[in-house]
Amino acid sequence: MPLDKMTNTQDFVPTHKSVILHLQGKPVACVIDTKNDYDSFNENPSLRASLTGFLNKDEELGLLMGFQLKIKTDDQFFQFTVYPDEEFIETLIFDERIFLINEKMDPLFYLKINTDQFVKTKSEFDKFQKMIK
């Protein structure tokens, strides 16, 4: 969503940093978080999460792609606004997971990304490849 279409640009101010780490040689998309306690999320049936991508146009920097990650339970709400690099976006799309880590790079929590958009994730891409063969 371009800045000129946003009703409240403060909602899209970056709040967290992103980084790519490698697990067993495979890149994983991570967001660095230091403020939240995720132990209460374990097996919480009210857990809901969403990941929404958007585009911003900056006069000096050009077009920027960002996303908002929202994690919600019945009594907690966390929102992360991040402007990652291209490698992060590609890793997130193809790995279908996003990890929250602390500043020491310890894993705190991770989410599996599901989408109903056609050919958006690696598994959907693989299904599509099988269909056209």
Domain ranges in the chain?
3-132
pTM, rounded to two decimals: 0.75
DSSP label of 102 = -
Q: What's the rounded Cα separation, in Å, for the pair 70 and 80?
A: 6
Six token digits for residue 130: 């099988």
Tens of pLDDT, residue by residue, the chain (133 residues): 455 566 676 777 889 999 999 988 999 999 999 888 888 787 789 999 888 887 776 677 677 788 899 999 998 899 999 999 889 988 888 888 999 999 999 989 899 887 655 455 666 667 766 777 6
Instruction: Give pLDDT, residue 118.
Output: 46
CA distance 122 to 126: 6
Q: What residues contact 14, with CB distance under 8 A and at least 6 apart? A: 66, 81, 82, 83
pLDDT at 128: 65
Give the tokens for residue 127. Answer: 């299904």
CA distance 98 to 30: 6
In what side-by-side order are the strands of the sheet with 77-82?
A: 48-58, 62-72, 77-82
